[in-house]
Structure 1
Amino acid sequence: MQQTILTSFKSYVSQEQLFDTSQPILLAVSGGIDSVVLTHLFSKADFSFAIAHCNFQLRGEESLRDEHFVQQLALRYQVPFYTVRFDTHDYTTAHKVSVQVAARELRYKWLEEIRQQQGYHFIATAHHMQDNVETVLMNFCKGTGIAGMHGILPRQGHIIRPLLFTQKEVLLDYGKAEQLDYVEDSSNTTDKYTRNFFRHQVIPQIQSAFPGAVTNMAGTIHRLKEAEILYQQAVVVHKKRLLVKKDNTWMIPVLKLQKTIPLQTIAYEIFREFSCSPSQTEQVLALLGSESGRFVETATHRIIRNRQWLLITALEEEDAPVVVIEKGQSQVKCKEGQLQLRAVTLPHISASLNIACLDAKQVQYPLILRRWKQGDYFYPLGMIRKKKLSRFFIDQKLSLPQKEKVWVLESGKRIVWVVGMRIDNRFKITDSTKEMLLLEWTALP
């Protein structure tokens, strides 16, 4: 048995190109049978390795026992040993996560720190075939895209899993045949944790009906992993066809998306990049048949129906609501740009929307530079009747993201300039104007 497993182990490492066998590897060892067998195989294969152990201090004396056992294991194999003790309960409280999530985050962060500090090429964990099947079944039950069906990858970043080729029973038989000592984690016997429920209840029931279920599912997982490569290649093609970027906004033509096949899948893959959940993807697809102005907000983005487009913009923190400009100031800045002011006596004609020429006599200080708000109105240049800005924006065919970036300049509670667009007729230059206030807006990238 020893030679059979050892040969399969070496073959798997080579087949998956997990690491160069001359490179030193850091083994994550809990003291259980899986990690003990992993350590033994590394030793028998004459690979260079060290042992790292995390004490999460969740099981009192049992946690100390495990730490001591792994320390003795490192002495037996005469390899470097690293250990750490975590206050896991404090971490769960501070970060508002479960014990399982806390342990995983603490473990991998510390292992990566040791890997970098001590110069190990990879971190090896003892995940095996059953672990992989459990992961895929849990992902399937929670709801996942195809990425959740590839299970635990043999190599992911600096993490490698050299035991994915074999089953738990094989590891137990190997440990028994080699008379390997190991420790039992009492928390593994409870069904309180989701993974244990699948391990103790779900998979045994499946195996009672299909004895080869674990091996068969592992084979399917491998095929799905390869199918995912083809899947992602197709997704990239659709994204290039549908996504257009203009400044900081992503744009998708509504008609093109409507005609896309398969619509649900492509939409899911596109919009999940913008923190869109599966249920929100359905809401986004509903925008395809809605009127302009409707939108869906995710945790990070807003997806808006604007005429024949879906516009995707990042949610931003609110900028300062107003910028006060006193007389004599020549420049002010805000989030979208900067405004320069200067008094001039000579005529100045400009065709640029970013330059405004006002009758200085009509301007009262302080000036207020602020974002526009609902209810704002002004008298557009050339008109004697007032118009609400919301109506003016419709005439200008502004999208919602564009409207949100509009600033106005206010004087004496009257809007003198819709910045970069139109001045107010009441402040225009006339034949009696003796001094002008010249305003120049420079948008920031």
Structure 2
Amino acid sequence: MILFLAARPVTSPPVRPAPRRARAPFRLRPLAPYRRIFTVPGTRAVTAANLLARLPMGMLSVSAVLMITGSRGSYALAGAVTATGLAATALAGPWTARLVDRHGQARIAVPATALAVLGSLALLLCVHYGAPDWTLFACYAATATTPNTGGLSRARWAYLFRDDPAARHTANSFEQAADELCFLLGPVLATLLCTTLAPEAGTAVAAALLLTGVLLFAAQRRTEPPVAPTPATDRTRSPLRLPGLPPLLATFLATGAVFGSLEVVTIAFADRHGLRSAAGALLALQAAGSCAAGLLYGLRRQPGQARHRFPVCTAAMAALMLLPLLAATAGGPAALAVALLLAGTATAPTMVTGMGLVQSLTPPGRLNEGMTLAVTALLGGIAAGSAGGGWAADHLGGVGAAYGVPAAAAALAAAVALLAARRRPACPPAPVS
């Protein structure tokens, strides 16, 4: 631990574009952009460590729900505890990211993770030994210091390829696909551990993976971006005041509502058709479509500027989100499965392009904070979407009609993105250094 906190970061030299060579046909080298970004020394090790640290993000909430309901028999209590943790994360996340920007990833991520792991273990002990309900809220709120591991990884890519926009695009596409993969595998692993070993097993394994992954990630000092000097006038200025960022965060908020409502409505749809055990498989198809689209999106350099592509991506997402609505109202589970797979193909390109815009609009010294604000907006949207989707599933007379909630949220995201693109002045992106 002392070695991680005391070691000074060793920065790598700027990554220069490789000399031009005769290009083989694209069909013969489909994965060349990904092979290229992983030729940089240290990127493979840091990516493996970050994936290990990111997998618990899809495990912790599911594990907490299964553990609390298994012990207390109350879904209401479990939902309230996880909602409290979500709210605490929305408040604490930007502050943790600001500390990372000011003091470096290793110096902040390790102690912040240690505190979050202690909160998870305290929750496990309180549930196991029958502590009062209020202790569950306090313990789960302590996990809010968990650093945004995906944002930390994206910040490293942004630093390594600060002079290579095409490589940054490929790296961001890979990171989005990794997010989808972790949120696809995490709940499955958590459910398996909690139902086959013990209700506390999911939380215990998730905490161990998180701490181990962050320690390994922080030890990779060659790829860690140096602390960028921040002018005194910018230290108290929130990135929320940056031109163009608030409308972008509003789009992320609406996009989060798409994710949250789609999950709840799909579970309700499967339950109403007597296929509750298949709800995870239906949601996995949506994540699989997004993961595949994210990887394909990063294979080649995209034409034009990201601020012009973003409204197109959100419009595609809004159009494809109509498919689940049509399939659920006019078809059955099989049609819905196909519709969810197709609908997922638009979410990753939207997120990749949006995160790229966040990076371009945020100064280098506030990059982690800017990306964490985007994640916070997503979390807020997920919470609102979950509530709206649940209400629609109970009150709209048919679960199929409830798919109008994610469709409406996607349309709202597209409208906000289009209005912001028309009002945003044509200015060069902020340099990433």
TM-score normalised by the chain length of structure 2: 0.21
Which protein is richer in strand relative to its size?
A: 1
Q: Which has the higher contact order (CA 8 A, sep 6+)?
A: 2
TM-score normalised by the chain length of structure 1: 0.20
Which protein is richer in helix relative to its size?
A: 2
